[in-house]
Amino acid sequence: MNQSTSAFSTIPLFCLLFLVTFGNSQLDYRFYDSACPNLSKIVRYGVWSAIANETRLAASILRLHFHDCFVNGCEGSILLDDSSNFKGEKNANPNRNSARGFEVIDAIKENVEKACPSTVSCTDILTLAARDAVFLSGGPFWPVSLGRRDGLTANETAANTDLPSPFEPLENITAKFISKGLDAKDMVVLSGGHTIGFAQCFTFKRRLFNFDGAGNPDPTLDASLLGSLRSICPNQDDSDTNLAPLDAATTTKFDNSYFKILVNSSGLLQSDQALMGDNKTAALVFGYSKFPFLFTKDFASSMVKMSNIGILTGQNGQIRKNCRVVN
Ligand code: HEM
Ligand SMILES: *[C@@H]1O[C@H](CO)[C@@H](O)[C@H](O)[C@H]1NC(C)=O
Ligand SMILES: *[C@@H]1O[C@H](CO)[C@@H](O)[C@H](O)[C@H]1NC(C)=O
Ligand SMILES: *[C@@H]1O[C@H](CO)[C@@H](O)[C@H](O)[C@H]1NC(C)=O
Ligand SMILES: *[C@@H]1O[C@H](CO)[C@@H](O)[C@H](O)[C@H]1NC(C)=O
Ligand SMILES: *[C@@H]1O[C@H](CO)[C@@H](O)[C@H](O)[C@H]1NC(C)=O
Ligand SMILES: *[C@@H]1O[C@H](CO)[C@@H](O)[C@H](O)[C@H]1NC(C)=O
């Protein structure tokens, strides 16, 4: 009797330890509970109203968070405009005429400042907004631990070198994830973010017309998808900014369809379809294509890992008043 009671009393402790190792000890789920009790509602409403007007903004916000975290860590540097002290990241190759959703974060920040001035970082707002964007698109929910502070600078060069490009080989992309403390599995499951949103024709056009330099398309691209992509992206420069869905089957729904699409050779970017060209990553793709629950569970835990890259806490950094400029 005594023995079983003590066995039970160890369960909560065990769960607590699990939470601590799973999260980040410098952050706290209740960080703003007393200083900004309505924070999560304000963020949720801001994301909800943006998506209600334009569905694609869910994808755009998720990508902003990824592009923030991969460049000097999650510290809101992507949100900064160019200044006299530095060139911002908004004009770096992966972001120029591509990163979007800044107005959504500005509008949320304005409402947060009204409720609790100079209290909540832009970085925490973006982290929460990315989680809400996934959840409101039908994806998983996960608790976000808070207390990240905003960085004092931005680095255009780092945005050019550290963010993955759709034109580079899988090994290079994997190396970029590993250099951020993530692994190949995080890379595969987080690529599932491409279950929502769009890409411009220039990011995959080479696959349609002249993949091999002899006028042939990419042999790993499904023939009927090839036809429809050629009509969206005719072989002329003025089609470069036309948009095609990353997941043509269920473009606005956050589900595991991205992985099903890779299995049947219908990935949009060369870097997407490349996940099927390696036995280890292909095994993960197959798993996520068959087991939606496995995808949502692993996606949530890799998002938590990503949102803890290179964070500033305590006295480091600052709480920006305006996400576009350092105080
Ligand atoms: C693995 C390496 C990755 C590469 C090479 C890559 C590349 C790209 C490219 C080229 C686009 C289209 C941009 C444009 O045409 O303007 C895009 C869009 C997008 N990416 Fe990625 N990406 C990667 C990983 C990720 C990750 C980890 C996430 C989030 C977890 C993500 C989320 C998105 C979303 C949601 C969009 C659509 C954005 C919109 O419609 O506004 N991507 N990505
Ligand atoms: C939180 O929002 C509610 C309405 O949704 C409002 O009545 C309350 O005053 C707000 N609390 C704070 C601290 O801003
Ligand atoms: C709704 O979205 C359109 C573009 O799709 C934009 O021009 C307009 O300002 C947005 N309205 C609101 C209220 O956000
Ligand atoms: C910006 O990033 C590049 C590439 O990571 C690095 O070499 C450089 O030192 C950084 N610049 C500053 C001012 O931190
Ligand atoms: C891939 O990485 C290797 C080694 O860092 C580099 O030499 C090569 O240029 C990269 N390839 C592309 C297409 O970026
Ligand atoms: C590939 O899979 C998607 C999602 O299941 C489906 O919509 C699409 O029609 C499939 N394409 C082919 C060529 O089987
Ligand atoms: C990958 O799988 C294929 C077929 O399943 C096999 O022929 C090949 O040897 C495998 N490659 C590696 C590097 O394991």
Q: Is the same domain home to 129 and 264?
A: no
Q: Is the same domain home to 148 and 229?
A: no
Residues sharing a CB contact under 8 Å with residue 82, sequence separation 6 or more, in sequence order: 88, 90, 91
> CB of 161 closer than 6 A to ligand 5?
no
Q: Atom 6 in ligand 5: which residue has the minimum CA distance?
A: 172
Q: Which residues pair with 200 in a beta bridge?
A: 243
Domain that residue 27 falls in = 6-164
Q: How far is 140 from 134, CA to CA, in rounded Å?
A: 7
**In the structure, what pLDDT confidence band is assigned to residue 26 with cuts at 50, 70 and 90?**
confident
For residue 317, being part of any structural domain is answered with no
Residue where the block lists tokens 């530095």: 86
Per residue in 97-153, pLDDT tens? Answer: 999 999 999 999 999 999 999 999 999 999 999 999 999 999 999 999 999 999 999
Ligand 3 center from residue 21 Cα (angstroms): 41
Number of domains in the chain: 2
Q: What is the CATH number of the domain that holds 201?
A: 1.10.420.10
Q: Is the same domain home to 124 and 220?
A: no
Rg (CA), the chain: 21
Q: What is the CATH number of the domain that holds 133?
A: 1.10.520.10
Neighbours of 62 (CB within 10 A): 27
Residue 203 has pLDDT above 50, yes or no: yes
Per residue in 52-77, pLDDT tens? Answer: 999 999 999 999 999 999 999 999 99
Residues sharing a CB contact under 8 Å with residue 245, sequence separation 6 or more, in sequence order: 197, 198, 251, 268
For residue 318, being part of any structural domain is answered with no
Q: Is the same domain home to 15 and 144?
A: yes
**In the structure, what pLDDT confidence band is assigned to residue 9 with cuts at 50, 70 and 90?**
very low
Q: How far is 255 from 18, CA to CA, in rounded Å?
A: 27
Ligand 4 center from residue 155 Cα (angstroms): 6
Residue where the block lists tokens 């991969």: 70
**In the structure, what pLDDT confidence band is assigned to residue 25 with cuts at 50, 70 and 90?**
confident
> CB of 37 closer than 6 A to ligand 2?
yes
Q: Tell me if 250 is assigned to a ligand binding site.
A: yes
Average the pLDDT over 13-30 and give the result: 62
Does pTM surpass 0.95? Answer: no
